[in-house]
Structure formats: C-alpha cells, structure tokens
Structure 1
Amino acid sequence: MEKMEAIEVMSALAQPTRFEVFTHLARAQPDGLAAGALAERIGTPASTMSVHLTILSRAGLISSSKVGRKVIYKAEPASVRDLALFLMNDCHLGDEDPG
C-alpha cells in the first residue's frame, strides 16, 4: 500500500456513517447487502448512501456486483489488513526502539 492509498482508506473510514457502513458489510460477509438494506439499517437516505458507497468503493474498502436488479455490496477486509501492515511496516509502528 502506498502512502496516498493509506490516507484515502483512513479518510473514508474516518467519517462515522461510512465506518458504520463498512462495519455492517463486514458483518454481512460473505453475502453482502444491497444499498437499500444498508440505508434502512443505518437510517440514511438512499441518495446519501450512494455517496458513501462511492467513497468506500474508491478507497478499495468495498466491492459491488449486480445480482438480478440489485447491486450487492461487500466489505473488502484486505484493504484494512493492508492499511494495518502499512502502518506497522512503513511507519515503523511497533518498533522496540522509539528513537
């Protein structure tokens, strides 16, 4: 993961509604959820949900696939894993020597 990708992932998850959307999708693995179901569960208008889903998708945190007439969204946990690895390795978090 590159620095700018890490910033995009952290920025996407820093917004409370998007964090909640990602959490719902992570819990709905492996089936995922439709946008309407997400909007209903979170209490967000469908148009607002669409914006959140676009931002999460651009950050690589979710993916979508069409199933019949519905678009099903799924969490991409590898993005969070990659962010954690970036922070641990590239930012030297967890080093024994703080200096």
Structure 2
Amino acid sequence: MTGWQRGLVVRPVPLLAIMAVAIGGVRGARTLIMRSGVLDRWGVRDFGAVMAWFNLPVAIGIALSPMLGSLLAGVLGSWSLATVVLAVVVLAGSVLASRT
C-alpha cells in the first residue's frame, strides 16, 4: 500500500486490509500484463534483459522511497503534508503519462 492510500484511510483496519489486497492484485496483474507484452514484442531470447530494464525504475523507486519520504517529511515538517505533496506529484505524473 502506498503512502497516499494510508494517508486517506486510517481506520477501520478491515478497510486497510481490503485496500492492501486490491493494490497487491493490481500489482500482480501489472506483472503478468508486462510479461505478456514483452514476450509478444521481443520474444523469449532477450526476455530477462528487457524485463530487467523495464523493472529498473520501479526497483530504484522502491529502494529510495523510504529515505526520500523521510527527508521530505523532515523538510516539510509533517508526514501528512508530505503525503499530500507526493500524491500531487503522482497525480501530475499520471496526467503527463496519459498524454504521451
């Protein structure tokens, strides 16, 4: 579960559990769709290398996000404000990605 979802829903705990399961399902579906797309377009010969390059930005984001999130919260002085700022950044990125 990403930070903005936790920021929106604090209680009740069952709702958090449902959101976590749904987000996990979406991430799993993304993996399967990406795998199928890579196989259809580039074949099996370079599958590992192509998947590695596709997953590199996600892996870097996962590795750096705890440090950068803490840094942002420290600069802004509030975890809630940091969550809102990150949600706006994600929304802007989604809008830009949908237009390309």
TM-score of the two chains, using structure 2 as the length reference? 0.26
- Which has a greater percent of strand? 1
- Which has a greater percent of helix? 2
Q: Which of the two has higher C-alpha Rg?
A: 2
